[in-house]
Every structure is written in structure tokens, then in C-alpha cells.
Amino acid sequence: MLSRNNFGNMACPAHDDVHMRARTAIVVVTYNSAPVLGDCLRSLARGAEGVELTDVVVVDNASRDGTLELAETFTDLPMRTVHMGRNAGYAAGINAGVNELDLATLDSILVINPDCRLSPGGLATLADVLTVPGRGIAVPRLVNPDGSLQPSLRRTPTVRRALAEAVIGGTRAGRIGKLGELVTDPREYERAAPAAWATGAAMLISVDALLQTGPWDESFLLYSEETEFALRAADLGWSLWYEPAAVVEHIGGDSDTNPTLAALLAVNKVRLFRRRRGFMPALAYYIAVVLGESARAVAGRQTSRASVAALLLPSRRIHTLAG
């Protein structure tokens, strides 16, 4: 078993036969996920057609609704479960799941939310993406339960983009050239292409990229951890590739309705920007985010009111997750 602190020092796996089926493991991080986990796990067998599925690791952040017990009933999968003992966050769950795996025997690891369902053969389609040198992360087309597109791609965060989203909104800004960070033009989702980062609901990560990039940053708890990981991988030369031929249904949406999670999202993206860009650019970015959230708060959005409070008052920021 690899420890969280040393798996980045391990030698990369060698594979002589490029025609071999990709050896892939899946890590699912759960928290009170019993209502959705069953459908996710039922989708994995057909979703993994075309690859060699070695492990399915369900890492549970101290659920109280029987999530782990449900996972253990899926005896048709190469299942193992990890009980974190606390709600440690998404990144901590991913790292704990990775530590359960023998990375020397794997080509890639799929990190997937419990409210996702893999389409048949989707994992093999993503694995094919990672056979191109330099590609370290492959992401699918995300769709809502009704089949409609769920925008998931992002451009590099900048002050200009934060200002544009503050003034005209993220959806509109994302449709005007490359003005917004969120890619919202449906035409952009019809073709395979690289992206700066993407929603972390479903990401296939090459083991080579993971070993070089290192563990996910657990300080973010939820939100921005996938941004930080993707941008850190890109710093090392690993690109993130969007492949629309692989489709994953994702329920999602908690940060749109939960004020606490929305506030955490807003604070974390400012934290990440400051870490990568320094104080002065981060101050401009912070002001742009506060302005945007304030405008929406005045319009009556409860999640934005919580975000403004957390951005302006450090005492309103959360440092541990419920549960």
C-alpha cells in the first residue's frame, strides 16, 4: 500500500504492448450518498467495457445513511471500501483511495462522483485519449439527468474573466469568445479539445501524470481541488483533454442551492488564484468576485449572500466539513 506522502516518488509503470487493454481502477468518494451510489456502481460494469477494471474503491467520509453497507453489496465488482472516520473532503478521499491501489500495475485511475453514471464503453474511450503522449487527464461530456448538456469546461482563471462574469454573468461571458472562465457555448462541447481544467465529477488520470503531479491538495476540502490539480499537472506538461464521445450523466448542483457550499466555492477560488498569482493580482481578482457575488446577492440570491459574507468576513469561512 502506498502512503499519501510517498506515492509521488514511485517509479512509473512500464507497458510494452500498446494494444493491451488499459488497466484501470475507479475511486468513488462518498458522503451520505446512499440515494445515488447504487445507480453509479451499477453503471460501472458496462461503463468499463473495453478496459481491464482492476479495482473499485469507495472511500466514505463518515456517512450515516448506510452508504458503505450499500457499496459492499456490489460483489460483482472488484470492490473495496475505505472508512475515513470523518468528513475529510473530496481531495482527502481521493488520496486515500489512491493509497489503496498498486500504481505499478495500473495505467489510469477514474475519479468519479457517486451521483454520476458512466455510459457503456465510456471508460475505454477516455483511456484511448491518454495514449497520446502529454495527455494526463481525460474528461467526458457531462449531461444532466434529462440528457441536456452540463457545461463542465473551464478556461484559465484571470482577473479579466472574473470581471466579465461579475458584470454580465458567467453564462453570457462564456459565450463571447474566450471572455468567460466557464465555457458555455454548446458548440464548444461538440469537438474534442484541450481545456485548462474541468469539473471534477469524472476525471480519468494517467498514473504517470499522477505520480509526477503528486497528491490532491486536501486543504481545499471541496471545490477548487480539481482546478488546483489540473493546473499543477499542466505546469508539469500534462494536458487535460475533453472527449465528447465519452458521456457521463451527472446530477450535481449542490453549490447552486446550498449557501454553505457556495460560500466555500467562492472562497476557495480566490485562495487558489492568490496562491498561483501573488497578492496584487489576487486582490484584483478578489474584488471582482466580491462585486459579482454582491450584485447577485442584491438580486436576492441566498447562495451569493453567503458567499459575500464569507469573502468579507474570515470568521464566516468554514475550515472543516459537517459530519
> Same domain for 66 and 188?
yes
- Residue 276, domain member (yes or no): yes
Per the structure, the count of domains in the chain is: 2
Cα–Cα distance for residue pair 45/68, rounded to 1 Å: 19
Last-in-domain residue among 252, 278, 306: 252
> Is residue 272 within 8 Å of residue 154, measured between CB atoms?
no
Cα–Cα distance for residue pair 126/192, rounded to 1 Å: 11
- Residue 77, domain member (yes or no): yes
Let me know how long the chain is.
Answer: 323
User: What pLDDT digit, counting tens, does each position of 24-40 carry?
Assistant: 999 999 999 999 999 99
- Residue 10, domain member (yes or no): no
pLDDT above 50: residue 241: yes
Confidence of residue 169 (pLDDT cuts 50, 70, 90): confident
> Same domain for 158 and 37?
yes
Last-in-domain residue among 198, 225, 252: 252
Reading the block at residue 275, the C-alpha cell is 496562491
**What are the C-alpha distances in Å from 129 to residues 22, 296, 303, 311?**
11, 39, 37, 39
Q: What is the CATH number of the domain that holds 102?
A: 3.90.550.10
> Same domain for 283 and 212?
no
pLDDT above 70: residue 255: no
Cα–Cα distance for residue pair 140/286, rounded to 1 Å: 31
| Sign of torsion over alpha carbons 95, 98, 99, 100 | positive
Confidence of residue 19 (pLDDT cuts 50, 70, 90): very low
> Same domain for 267 and 139?
no
Last-in-domain residue among 228, 252, 276: 252
Work out the angle at residue 144's Cα, subtended by the Cα atoms of residues 194 and 71, and round it to the nearest 5 degrees: 95
> Same domain for 122 and 246?
yes
- Residue 176, domain member (yes or no): yes
pLDDT above 50: residue 8: no
Cα–Cα distance for residue pair 242/153, rounded to 1 Å: 8
> Same domain for 261 and 123?
no
Q: Residue 138 — φ and ψ, nearest 5°?
A: -120, 135
* Lookup result for grid cell 459579482: 292
Q: Which domain holds residue 309?
A: 256-316
For residue 253, what pLDDT is reported?
Answer: 66
**Which strand (E) or helix (H) includes residue 240?**
strand 239-250
For residue 7, what pLDDT is reported?
Answer: 58
Specify the DSSP class assigned to residue 135: E
> Same domain for 241 and 290?
no
Reading the block at residue 242, the C-alpha cell is 475533453
- Residue 321, domain member (yes or no): no
> Same domain for 25 and 136?
yes
Reading the block at residue 287, the C-alpha cell is 474584488
